[in-house]
A and B are shown apart, each in its own frame.
Chain A
C-alpha cells in the first residue's frame, strides 16, 4: 500500500528547476532509497514532503492526504518525520531532553495542569521518561542520557537526531544522509539500525550517497539527476542501469 506518494511534484528556484515533475511511491513497510549526484534535488524533495518548502506545482501525499504546503509540525504530527543532512542539535538540551521533546507532540496535558503539577502530569512525565529511555536504549545512547547533546561525538549526534525523530512515533522516517561524516564502523552499524527501525513497523525513506550503505539496505531505489527521476528498481537493477552509471560516472568515450 502506498504510504507516501509524489505526484508531478515540481520546485523551481527562480529559473532553476530543482525537482522536475517527480512521481514517487513509497510503500508501507519498505526501505526505500532516493539517490543521485550532488544537487540532483534529493533534499529539496525532502523539504517539499515535510512542509519546509511549498512545491511550485504538483503535490506530495501522505496516507492519501496532501501534505505539501502544510506546516512542518502538522506533518510530523501526522506521522511523517525527517532528520537533517546538516546536524540540527539543540545546544542547551541534554540527550534525554532531546528525546522527551520528540514526544512533546504526542502529549496531552495543558499548561495549567503542568503548573499545578496534577497527577496526570506526573504520570505523563513518568511515561515519557520511560519511553525516551527505551528509544535511547534502542540507539545505544542510554548511558549518555544526561550529557549535553553538543558534547557527544559527531556520529552519536547523528544517532541522537534519529532517536529524537523516532520519539515522535512516526509511520515513515526520512533519513537525509544519515551516514554523512560517519566512520566505516558507524556506517556499518547504521545498516543494522535502519533494518531494526523498519522491524519496529516504521517505513524508512533513505537519502544517501554511500553506495555500500544504500545497496545493502534498501529494497527499492529511485535515482534522481537534475531533479528528474532517471531510474527506479531493485538495487541490482539500478546497478546495471546504463543511465545511472552515466549520471554517476559520466559518459564513456566511444572507442572504435
Chain B
C-alpha cells in the first residue's frame, strides 16, 4: 500500500476506533479527555497542512486556538448569536488571522518564521489576558453554549463527542481531497524546494499564505468546539507549551501524514493525563517518551507502519518468486 491508499485506509480505521472508544471508556473524566482529543484532531489537521505538507514550522498554534475559542465564546455570550453562526465566524476569523499573519511573515524562512510565530502566540495570550473590557481578562468567559439542532441541545457529553467526531471526519475528507488535488502537490513542492517551485511558475509565497489560511479555517472550528465543550475559557490555557505540543503531535505521528497527525493528537492528549499519577516526575517522563520516539522513530508512527508494510510486500514478492521457480 502506498501514499493516498494507505492514508485512506488508516483514516477509516482511526475514525472507526474513535467511534467505538466512547462506550468502552467507563470513567467520566476519560470520556471528557476523549472529546478533547477529537477537538485536538480537528486543530492538528490545520497544522498538518501548513507544517506537514507545506513545511512551514508554525509555532503559534496556541494563538490561533485562543483567538478561535474567544471568537465563539464572545459572539455567543456577548452578542447573543447562536452556536452555528458563531462557529462559522470563529473558523473565518482564524482563517483571516492566517492571511493577516501570513502575508508579512511567510517571506521569512525556517527558524526565523518559527520565532516570529512564537511571538505571535505569546502576544495573543497577553492580549486575551489584558484586554479585560472585551475578553474578561484573567477571569475568562463563562456560560458558553453547547451546539444545538433546533431545540435539541448537545448537553450530553456523549452526544457532543459524536457531533465533534462527525465534524472531524468531514474535515479529514476535505483535507484528504485538498492533499490529492493540484494544490496538495504544490504544497509539497514548496516544502521540498521553494526556489525550484518559483522557477516553474508557482507563487510559493501565495501557496504558503493559502496553506496558512486553510490552517486557520480548520483550527477555528476546533477552537470553537473547545469553548463549547468546556463552556468556560480563560487565557492561561493558550501557552507556548501548547503550541509545542501541537508541533510534537505532527512529528510523533509522522510529518506529512494526515493519519499520523491524527494519531499523534490522540496520543498526546491522553499521554499527559495518563501520566498525572507521576506528579512532579510527569514532565520528565513525558519528555523522555517524546524524545525516544523522535530519536528512534524519526519518521513517526505512520512512517514505521509504511516501513513495515514495504518490508512485508518485498518478502511476499520474494516468496512468490520462489513458488514460481519450484
Is chain B found bound to chain A in the same assembly?
A: yes
Q: Which of A80-88, A178-186, A231-239, A240-248 contacts B (4 or more CB under 8 A)?
A: A80-88
B195 touches A88 (CB 8 A): yes
In the complex with contacts A90-B189, A93-B192, A104-B202 CB distance below 8 A: yes
Contacts of A125 in B (CB 8 A): 182
B189 touches A93 (CB 8 A): yes
| Docked pose: A100 CA to B202 CA in angstroms | 12
Does B188 lie at the interface of the complex (its beta carbon under 8 Å from any beta carbon of A)? yes
| Docked pose: A91 CA to B196 CA in angstroms | 11
Number of interface residues of B (CB under 8 A): 25
- A66-115: which residues lie under 8 A (CB-CB) from chain B? 71-74, 76-77, 81-82, 84, 88-93, 97, 100-102, 104-107, 109, 111, 114-115
Contacts of B199 in A (CB 8 A): 50, 52, 72-73, 76, 81-82, 84, 88, 165
Does A6 lie at the interface of the complex (its beta carbon under 8 Å from any beta carbon of B)? no
- B175-222: which residues lie under 8 A (CB-CB) from chain A? 177-178, 181-183, 185-186, 188-189, 191-193, 195-204, 210
- A134-176: which residues lie under 8 A (CB-CB) from chain B? 164-165, 167-168
Contacts of B178 in A (CB 8 A): 111, 114-115
Partner of B185, one of A72, A88, A101: A101
Contacts of A200 in B (CB 8 A): none
Does A253 lie at the interface of the complex (its beta carbon under 8 Å from any beta carbon of B)? no
Does A117 lie at the interface of the complex (its beta carbon under 8 Å from any beta carbon of B)? yes
| Docked pose: A125 CA to B180 CA in angstroms | 11
Contacts of B200 in A (CB 8 A): 76, 81, 101-102, 104-105, 164-165, 167-168
A73 touches B202 (CB 8 A): yes
Partner of B182, one of A50, A107, A165: A107
A81 touches B201 (CB 8 A): yes
Does B224 lie at the interface of the complex (its beta carbon under 8 Å from any beta carbon of A)? no
- B60-87: which residues lie under 8 A (CB-CB) from chain A? none
Q: List 21 A-B contacts (CB under 8 A).
A: A50-B199, A73-B197, A73-B201, A73-B203, A73-B204, A74-B203, A76-B200, A81-B200, A88-B193, A88-B195, A90-B196, A91-B193, A93-B185, A101-B189, A105-B200, A107-B182, A115-B178, A128-B182, A165-B200, A167-B200, A168-B200
